[in-house]
Chains A and B, each alone.
Chain A
């Protein structure tokens, strides 16, 4: 048994292997000795002087595939020192026994080779992923410094990746085996160090932790998937992993809270039989929100149960609240005049509101109208949907944007939808216009007249469409 001693990692091994192969020195006759990696004293006459032999070698080509050399380079970073022996055995067999040896994945040596290659490649991939730089402010420009502990001493294997990606920054990566520094133009190598000697912290880690927490979905906990992709051995240099325990601990409670926070919906109070009379009778028992309880009563729609045209307003006003019927107050009177002008009787159409209760606040003895929030519109919407399903109109005229939100499922601006007939599927056409109460509030005479004209023409258009 003779010794082959070499330096400079994979490059050195390759040079030596090339000479030994040319002289047909078989794998079982030699032992590989990487410089500085052995404590044993070796006699010089046991060493093969491959450098001298190489100078007079007949032919020094390596007749193996690029694929093998790329994989062999990865394997050369494996922590197991037996890799050199394995690599030489393989290159020997590839050269003199079977050039397609690598295809024979069931061969024992090929299997060790593949598994070592896989282990290094995965560790390298994780280094690229899990290195965490910490910014250190310096007079001559910020330095980004990381401490990382890979399974294999592969810093030289991954350094080009960081060099390419972070070429405009100054950075240092420290590992227990060695360290590398990029100053913007060259890589400089140095000794390794412990985590204690690494960088301490970075104010940005607070934001990073905040992101990590917020992007986690507590409704789906899959710890095994997390641990298999992010093995615990890497956690100690990744700041976000300190949050994991807390996140898991809280997750059940967060899901429970989520479910409890599901808003009530009127849907829970809609009777199974959905004709208008049954619906109307069921409205007083609805407690999906507290608006009805704070009002005198809930106000259901009225009109022709077979109407082709349905008018939807925002919510009952003070007068409607007292009487229990929609469109009775000043706005209702204005609407009546517009209906008259279009020769439409109240018995020909169906009228209702997006929200069924008068939402208001008290100022002294007065009750002041308050616009319902989108949430309240959403809670109450089931009643409107039940009315739509029962009456089955072909045209809906939305008076105001609250009605439009309830009917269209989307908040719209009047300027985008005025004068348009919106086709919402199932043969239903929707037109959006001003609410009469809004017209009443307009101060400017000209503007008021224009808005009224718009309401009139929208109603006429809706009427014509419903007759068609």
Chain B
């Protein structure tokens, strides 16, 4: 099998992993070595599914001993199988990188022989890139479920980022679709990566020359809509993972039907808007000071698909409003629908010099159509009288708003092309 055939099979098999971020790691170019990493990461191309290509994202092999039904590579699927050699992956990475197609490599794999054997081969790729080719670009390695702690820790010496996929929101989902996997086992891997990162950062404080371990931190991915788990379950799990393992990102991947999929899976694509709403809610947890329990509760465990989660929260908590844009503290401004983090920071700076009017806010790119019911400004804002209107929700749904992308709202672009954008 030639390398093009292998590439077609092993890239195809890797595409269900949403993560492709090349962010969070900064390594200046070193004389005599190829490549560097920038804090922000760069998206080198975009495919018609709206996702970015930042890294060469491939599997080392799609042979697998597991039978996880949501996975195209499960043992009982009759997809075409292939395996890259270590040298194949190293060559592709270097050649793509030299042409400025990519920021680096994201290597994952089906499990062959044993989790440890698989992990060792993946480490061999990273090590060869770093030592023989003096490769300074980005390397993201997937921690193989069930690989020994020692190997996972070794992987972090060569990789910028490590990740172990939590796969599905709840253990019950795994029991149903991936009987051989457990959250306990996956979280052990996360815990061991986190321990090593903490230890390494402490060492680095005392001894500056300590090589940095997994500078880009760790992330994980959850498949959404393959089982009946609710958004409350999903955000609860994310919230716990952010707290317990210091994850940089949780990626949500709307379940999409896979070729030759397991019959127990839904045939239909989970709605992309649900994935989008989950990313919005995730952002609210990380940057807007919300707790997931404020957004959802057992009585209404699903995010509103019609309204973004912040607006939905505001409609349900009208007593909190109206907010005086010229006086309210930052954490209150962050709760106003249509206000992004960057906008809020601009408002805080501007209002020390001048009281803001509605017209000023639209200059600052606030989504006025959304925000106007919830704020008072220096001039008269007549819309605020509609705050307690029984049709407020309907009004908000009707407003056709050109939404800034999440990344614009956040003022970051971290090289991710997930549904978050």
Contact = CB atoms under 8 A, between A and B. Distances in A.
Interface of A: 98, 100, 103-106, 111, 125, 128-135, 144, 146, 164-169, 202, 204, 206-208, 210-226, 228-230, 238, 240, 244, 247-248, 251, 255, 257-259, 261-265, 267-268, 373-375, 377-379, 405, 408-412, 416, 424-426
A351 to B, nearest CB: 22
Contact of B353 (A100, A169, A218, A265): A100
B419 to A, nearest CB: 8
B167 interface: no
Nearest to A268: B263
A306 B101 CA distance: 62
A288 B100 CA distance: 49
B396 to A, nearest CB: 22
B99 A164 contact: no
The 9 closest A-B pairs by CB, nearest first: A222-B50, A378-B76, A225-B50, A265-B263, A409-B179, A103-B349, A214-B11, A410-B180, A219-B256
Given A105-B350, A216-B48, A225-B50, A207 B3 contact: yes
A223 B114 CA distance: 40
Given A106-B364, A131-B100, A374-B67, 7 more contacts: A104-B350, A132-B100, A226-B47, A268-B263, A375-B77, A378-B76, A405-B75
B66 A410 contact: yes
A223 B48 contact: yes
Given A146-B100, A220-B254, A377 B76 contact: yes
12 contacts: A100-B349, A103-B353, A129-B45, A144-B98, A146-B100, A207-B95, A213-B8, A214-B8, A251-B48, A267-B263, A409-B179, A410-B65
A164 B29 contact: yes
Q: Chain B binding site: helix, strand, loop or mixed by DSSP?
A: loop
Contacts, number: 230
Given A207-B7, A230-B46, A225 B421 contact: yes
Contact of A133 (B77, B99, B267): B99
B75 A103 contact: no
B48 A248 contact: yes
A259 B265 CA distance: 11
Contacts of B75: 374, 378, 405, 410-411
A159 to B, nearest CB: 13
Interface stretch (B31-39, B190-198, B238-246, B325-333): B31-39
A226 B50 contact: yes
B8 A210 contact: yes
Contacts of A212: 45, 47, 53
Interface of B: 3-4, 7-9, 11-12, 14-16, 28-29, 31-36, 42-53, 56-57, 65-68, 74-78, 92, 95-96, 98-101, 114, 134, 175, 178-180, 182, 254, 256-264, 267, 269, 272, 346, 349-350, 352-354, 356, 360, 363-364, 405, 413, 417, 419, 421
Given A106-B364, A207-B3, A378-B76, A409 B68 contact: yes
A209 to B, nearest CB: 10
A217 B134 CA distance: 33
Contacts of B7: 207, 210-211, 214
Nearest to B357: A106
Contacts of B78: 263, 373, 375
Contact of B4 (A169, A207, A258): A207
B48 A105 contact: no
Contacts of B260: 258, 261-263
Nearest to A163: B29
A226 B417 CA distance: 9
Contacts of A244: 48
Contact of B14 (A207, A215, A229): A215
B8 A378 contact: no
A229 B47 contact: no
Contacts of A135: 98-99
Nearest to B99: A133
A261 B260 CA distance: 5
A185 to B, nearest CB: 11
Contacts of A131: 100
Contact of A240 (B8, B32, B45, B98): B45
Nearest to B261: A262
A33 B1 CA distance: 63
Given A105-B349, A215-B57, A267-B264, A238 B405 contact: no
Contacts of B77: 375, 378
Contacts of A168: 32-34, 134
A168 B97 CA distance: 12
Contacts of B33: 167-168
Contact of A263 (B47, B51, B134, B263): B263
Contacts of B254: 220
A167 B65 CA distance: 43
Given A211-B11, A247-B48, A220 B76 contact: no
A170 to B, nearest CB: 11
A414 B175 CA distance: 23
Given A212-B47, A215-B57, A134 B263 contact: no
Contacts of B52: 229
A169 B175 contact: no
Contacts of B350: 103-106
Contact of B98 (A111, A133, A216, A405): A133
